[in-house]
């Protein structure tokens, strides 16, 4: 009987603010960081790894919060973990004291996500499968016990979810075959960080076109005239066959959003991401009413399924951008994917950050195989930095994510990377204070 023997967490920070990778209108100097959770078991070869993603300062606060949940999992067996993962999720989400700090949002929910990301990695490895494969090969009755219906059953009932899972069972094998051959389309964010010069953006656009990308996301938000000039440069560089989308990272008021988005219309954008506050459902509705048929997207800062319910049911957004470390891991992510499918909102997962591409490669495959069966009008985010720190980084071919082959949820880091970038005592931070 294999038992969980220890859970530990490391504060790992990468100094991305040095070259402005990840910079946007509001987060001007992020150090891409991870609260790196390790779950050890009585089988020394079986370990689970998970992260939450932050921008540097505060990573220690998420780590501290993770420690508060650890006693819930001490000494349970891996079989009990797999069987009771749905109940254990609520033991954390409804923790009688920690819950006050959320509920189900902010630091507590990110801490929950980090732990459950590690536990799902462990469960997939125990079953000798990549996580996506473990999930899609699980029976609908089993999956139903993982899901988080509380507060959203008015939008997605248990019967709705079960029927979607059941309906798609017959297509699982054929969809896996398609993904094996084609992969899942991605867009690149890596050419358009706000801190980059026009010369650098042109050089990067040309590089990514050669590598096979056709979708380019650009950060905007500080200065309308400069944004329009940058978009002109990019459109000229990538041509009319490629798509552009922009991301304002919550920078604008409603009035500014409308003004900016209308000024960008001539660039025929695929979507506009996070124009304003991620909580402002009514604000998104007002923007939508004033910008015609421009698609609005949000979700990377969306605290949980209950916020997504508001956005979906009011049709305030056109595209849902789930985040693998802000939603409460697979339990809540699957629930949101099912709700999005029922309410006909396509999901384009967010992956700008460390480790997020490693996670979303599983999530887009699960969405396609198990729930949605549609991928050719969707794109999942890809950004190309920091993959070298992972033992099993995602594989991209001609702009498509390929099916992960290794067991687990793909987030195990190289030991040397953890050692070097642990904060504040890793080698890098000791010599760069
Ligand atoms: Mg974004």
If asked whether residues 9 and 109 sit together in one domain, one would say: yes
Are residues 220 and 237 located together in one domain of the fold? yes
Residues 326 and 353 grouped into a single domain: yes
Total of domains in the chain = 2
Expressed in angstroms and rounded, the spacing between residue 53 Cα and the centre of ligand 1 is 13
Same domain, 275 and 317: yes
172 domain residue, yes or no: yes
What number of H helices and E strands is found in the chain? 17, 12
pLDDT digits (tens, 9 = 90+) for 351-406: 989 999 999 999 999 999 999 999 999 999 999 899 999 999 999 999 999 999 99
Structure tokens at 334: 């699957």
Q: Determine the distance separating the centroid of ligand 1 and the alpha carbon of 60, expressed in angstroms.
A: 23
The verdict on 404 and 426 lying in the same domain is no
Q: Answer whether residue 140 is part of any domain.
A: no
Predicted confidence (pLDDT) per residue in 99-121, tens digit: 999 999 999 999 999 999 999 99
> Are 187 and 315 within one domain?
yes
| pLDDT at res. 399 | 95
The reply to whether 290 and 390 lie within a common domain is: yes
Q: What does the alpha-carbon distance between residue 344 and residue 370 come to, in Å, rounded to a whole number?
A: 15
The answer, as to whether pTM is greater than 0.95, is: yes
Nearest-CA neighbor of 96 among 127, 72, 79, 74?
72
| Whether the Cβ atoms of residue 166 and residue 359 lie closer than 8 Å to each other | no
The pLDDT assigned to 352 comes to 87
Cα separation, 88 vs 69, whole angstroms: 11
Here the CATH number for the domain that contains residue 392 is 3.20.20.120
Residues 329 and 225 in one domain: yes
CA of 195 to the centre of ligand 1 (A): 15
Looking at the fold, whether 52 and 192 belong to one and the same domain comes out as no
Residue 26 confidence (pLDDT):
85
Do both 196 and 99 map to the same domain? no
- State the catalytic residues: 219, 350
Residues of the chain with pLDDT under 50: none
pLDDT at 155: 98
Given this model, what pLDDT does residue 192 score? 77
Q: Could you tell me if residue 382 is inside a domain?
A: yes
Cα 127 to ligand 1 centre (Å):
34
Domain that holds residue 33: 4-133+417-431
pLDDT digits (tens, 9 = 90+) for 245-254: 999 999 999 9
Q: Residue 166's pLDDT is what?
A: 98
Shared domain check, 101 and 42? yes
pLDDT for the residue numbered 222: 87
């Amino acid at each position: 009987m294999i038992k969980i023997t220890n859970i530990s967490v490391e504060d790992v920070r990468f100094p991305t603010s040095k070259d402005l990778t990840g910079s946007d209108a509001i987060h001007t100097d992020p150090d891409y960081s991870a609260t790196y959770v390790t779950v050890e078991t009585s089988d020394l070869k079986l370990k689970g790894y998970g992260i939450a993603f932050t921008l540097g300062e505060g990573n220690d606060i998420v780590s501290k919060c993770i420690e508060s949940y650890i006693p819930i999992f001490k000494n349970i067996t891996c079989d009990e973990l797999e069987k009771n993962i749905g109940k254990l999720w609520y033991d954390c989400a409804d923790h009688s004291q920690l819950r006050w700090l959320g509920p189900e949002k902010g630091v507590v929910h990110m801490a929950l996500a980090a732990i459950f990301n590690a536990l799902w990695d462990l469960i997939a490895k125990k079953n000798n499968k990549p996580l996506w494969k473990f999930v899609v090969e699980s029976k609908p009755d089993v999956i139903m016990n993982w899901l988080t219906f509380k507060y959203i059953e008015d939008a997605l009932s248990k019967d709705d979810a079960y029927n979607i899972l059941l309906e798609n069972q017959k297509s699982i094998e054929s969809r896996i075959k398609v993904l094996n051959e084609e992969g899942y389309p991605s867009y690149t964010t890596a050419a358009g960080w706000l801190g980059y010069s026009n010369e650098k953006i042109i050089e990067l656009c040309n590089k990514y076109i050669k590598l096979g990308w056709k979708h380019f996301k650009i950060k905007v938000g500080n200065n309308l005239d400069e944004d329009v000039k940058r978009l002109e440069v990019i459109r000229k560089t990538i041509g009319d066959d490629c798509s552009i989308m922009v991301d304002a990272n919550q920078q604008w008021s409603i009035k500014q959003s409308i003004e900016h988005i209308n000024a960008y219309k001539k660039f025929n954008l695929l979507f506009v991401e996070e124009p304003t506050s991620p909580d402002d459902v009514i604000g998104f509705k007002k923007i939508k009413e004033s910008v015609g048929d421009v698609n609005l997207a949000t979700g990377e800062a969306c605290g949980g399924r209950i916020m997504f319910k508001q956005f979906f049911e009011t049709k305030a957004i056109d595209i849902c951008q789930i985040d693998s470390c802000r939603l409460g891991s697979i339990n809540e992510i699957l629930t949101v994917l099912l709700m999005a499918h029922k309410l006909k909102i396509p999901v384009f997962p967010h992956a700008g950050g460390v480790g997020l591409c490693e996670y979303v490669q599983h999530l887009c495959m699960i969405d396609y195989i198990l729930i949605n069966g549609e991928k050719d009008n969707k794109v999942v985010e890809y950004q190309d930095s920091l993959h070298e720190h992972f033992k099993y980084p995602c594989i991209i071919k001609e702009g498509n994510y390929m099916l992960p082959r290794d067991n687990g949820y793909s987030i195990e880091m190289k030991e040397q990377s953890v050692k070097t970038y642990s904060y504040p005592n890793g080698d890098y931070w000791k010599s760069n204070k």
